[in-house]
Amino acid sequence: MAGAKTSGLLAPLRLPLASGDHFIDPPVVLAPMAGITNAPFRQLCREQGAGLFVSEMVTARALIERIPETLRMIEPGPDEYPRSVQLYSVDPHTMRAAVTMIGKENLADHIDMNFGCPVPKVTRKGGGAALPYKRNLFTAIVGAAVDAAKPFGIPVTVKMRIGIDSDHETYLEAAMSAAQLGVSWVALHARTAQQMYEGKSDWSAISRLVEHLKPTGVPVLGNGDIWSGVDGLAMIEQTQCAGVVVGRGCLGRPWLFADLVSSLNGGSSRTHPTLFEVREVMYRHGELIVNYFESEDRGCRDLRKHMAWYLKGFRVPSELRRQFGMIESLKEFRSLLNQLDDQPYPVEVGEKPRGRTSHSRPVTLPDRWLDDPDEMAHLDIEDAFSGG
């Protein structure tokens, strides 16, 4: 969905690539999700209208060490463009090396940086959503990425959370720093790390960030609680953000992007597939993922986790649901799908939260992490993500 003109209610997002400006139209981005946004899932989402589709997060160190699984994770799908990679590092030198490698070897057209991960194995060593609290380290990492990407014409963006908790909010200062360093946009998941994925995201924080960055001209994208096209439109109208980033809302629902495209282009029709339509998307996902892994066994094992998301809200016998969670071949998968009875889309259930629902909890941080926000901490946490 790219073009050089405005369509619908919003101007397209500008992505200044080396090959020339690319306009993300409508401005709808598939968020990177570990174990989910591999090439097959990205292809499903772009076929439904996603404007940009970001790879699973990979660590800068694993990339420069050429870990085979990491290299697989950034492989684009057929005709995938722009090729978008999310990089993670806590060291500016490692980040610079990884970005330079991407540029020299033409591995991606766009780099996003993760400063929003709230999981304890990351925050306990100062990474993810904890890292922007160390303002000098954050600035050094973002600056290293932007500087290294510049000779290759690769735009760099950042994704972050509001902060560690309500007493340690970092998003306004960190976003301004990133904007001044030259990022193309800032995406904000409007929760703190402490909230994990609990409750409602605070869209008012997105509004504040939009106003805060207005003098810089750097766009803000909103993320959090977009379960339908109506939600995406509401976020944009309420916050005046320049686009939306969709994560958990599209799990088992790649057609959410078609719904968003319709809503953002002023359409009143909704995308509510019947179960027979859903089952064909499911099978296509199966074919794509088996081809991607070049192994029916591995592909089917990876596909299993998507089954409950696809079937959520539909009336499916419990034994059949159990069998979907144990599929071993595409032939078996097709046989199970053929046993489903057609039925309307379950709007009431289908447009509610799915995926991770971790409850709020105190953020695990390194000892004395909060003592000095100006401390230049170089902590090695990339080993927490073996293989990528």
Q: Which residues are tagged catalytic?
A: 117
φ/ψ region of 387 (left if φ > 0, alpha if ψ in -120 to 50, else beta) reads left
Return the C-alpha torsion angle 273, 276, 282, 285, nearest 10: -80
Neighbours of 329 (CB within 10 A): 14
Residues 98, 64 contacting (CB under 8 angstroms): yes
CA distances 267 to 114, 259, 311, Å, are: 33, 9, 26
Give Cβ neighbours of residue 232 (< 8 Å, ≥ 6 apart): 28, 226, 244, 246, 260, 263, 264
Distance CA 375, CA 28 (A): 36
> What is the identity of the amino acid at 299?
G
CB atoms within 10 A of CB 215: 9
Q: Looking at the chain, list the stretches that DSSP marks H as alpha helix, in order from N- to C-terminal side.
A: 39-47, 60-64, 68-73, 92-104, 120-123, 135-149, 171-181, 203-213, 229-239, 256-264, 275-293, 296-303, 307-311, 318-324, 330-337, 347-350
Which of 102, 147, 129, 149 lies closest to 191, judged by CA?
Answer: 129
Ramachandran angles phi, psi of 230, nearest 5°: -65, -40
Q: Which long-range contacts (CB under 8 A, 24 or more apart) does 206-214 make?
A: 206/235, 206/239, 206/241, 207/238, 207/239, 207/240, 208/172, 209/171, 209/172, 209/175, 210/239, 210/240, 210/241, 212/172, 212/175, 212/176, 213/175, 213/176, 213/179, 213/186
Question: What does the alpha-carbon distance between residue 207 and residue 210 come to, in Å, rounded to a whole number?
Answer: 5
The pair of three-digit structure tokens given for residue 91, joined into one six-digit string:
């060291």
